[in-house]
């Protein structure tokens, strides 16, 4: 049952990611990205990491995507016009190549799979907090905060209308 759920979530993630890059309407593209992030959350849960799965939904699909949608709606971004070099054939070829690569990789993993105990992986909340807030990742955490602040200031600057 876990394998079926994994492949269903993986297929949904790939298809919705292709919709993200192929959609001309940015609002629909953002909604497809939410579907991609939620299906990745299912994969994290199947891998035995419920904390990361919940964080994926709360932080990325929740907070970050609401921010993206807010900026898109604030800027009143319209659908993209048909570009002469962009077509569905290219997107279809990329989709076929990605699916073929996914099937080949899954087949290679199934052939190499050896039965036995899974390696130990500690994805508890305490361990994740210790790693994230350790001195090793402190500057990365702060740099991410500054990057988000700069994006917010940029969005406000772009959305500012002449009074």
Q: Give the pLDDT score at 132.
A: 76
Architecture of the domain made up of 2-78+89-109+121-159: Up-down Bundle (1.20)
pLDDT in tens, 139-159: 877 888 888 888 778 777 777
pLDDT in tens, 86-141: 555 665 666 666 666 666 666 665 555 566 665 566 667 787 778 777 888 778 77
User: What are the sequence ranges of the domains in the chain?
Assistant: 2-78+89-109+121-159
pLDDT over 50 at 163, yes or no = no
In 47-118, alpha helices (H): 50-55, 65-75, 88-112
SS3 content of the chain, % helix, strand, coil (to 5): 75, 0, 25
User: 19 versus 144: which is more confidently predicted?
Assistant: 19
Contact 39, 20 (CB under 8 A): no
Question: Long-range contacts of range 8-11, CB-CB < 8 Å, 24 or more positions apart?
Answer: 9/39, 9/40, 9/42, 9/43, 9/46, 10/39, 10/43, 10/102
pLDDT over 90 at 31, yes or no = no
Q: How far apart are CA 161 and CA 36, in angstroms?
A: 33
pLDDT over 90 at 12, yes or no = yes
Average pLDDT for the chain: 76
pLDDT over 80 at 29, yes or no = yes
pLDDT in tens, 34-84: 899 999 999 998 988 888 888 888 888 888 888 777 777 777 766 666 555
User: 16 versus 155: which is more confidently predicted?
Assistant: 16
């Amino acid at each position: 049952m876990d394998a079926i759920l994994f492949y269903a979530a993986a297929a949904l993630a790939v298809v919705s990611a292709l919709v993200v890059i192929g959609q001309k309407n940015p609002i629909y593209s953002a909604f497809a990205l939410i579907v991609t992030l939620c299906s990745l959350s299912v994969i994290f849960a199947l891998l035995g990491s419920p904390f990361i799965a919940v964080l994926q939904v709360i932080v990325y699909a929740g907070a970050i995507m609401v921010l993206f949608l807010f900026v898109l709606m604030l800027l009143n971004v319209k659908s993209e016009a048909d570009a002469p070099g962009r077509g569905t054939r290219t997107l279809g070829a990329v989709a076929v190549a990605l699916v073929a690569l996914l099937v080949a990789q899954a087949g290679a993993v199934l052939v190499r799979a050896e039965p036995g105990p899974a390696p130990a992986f500690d994805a508890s909340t305490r361990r994740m907090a210790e790693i994230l807030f350790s001195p090793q990742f402190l500057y990365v955490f702060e740099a991410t905060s500054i990057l988000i602040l700069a994006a917010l200031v940029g969005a406000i600057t772009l959305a500012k209308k002449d009074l």
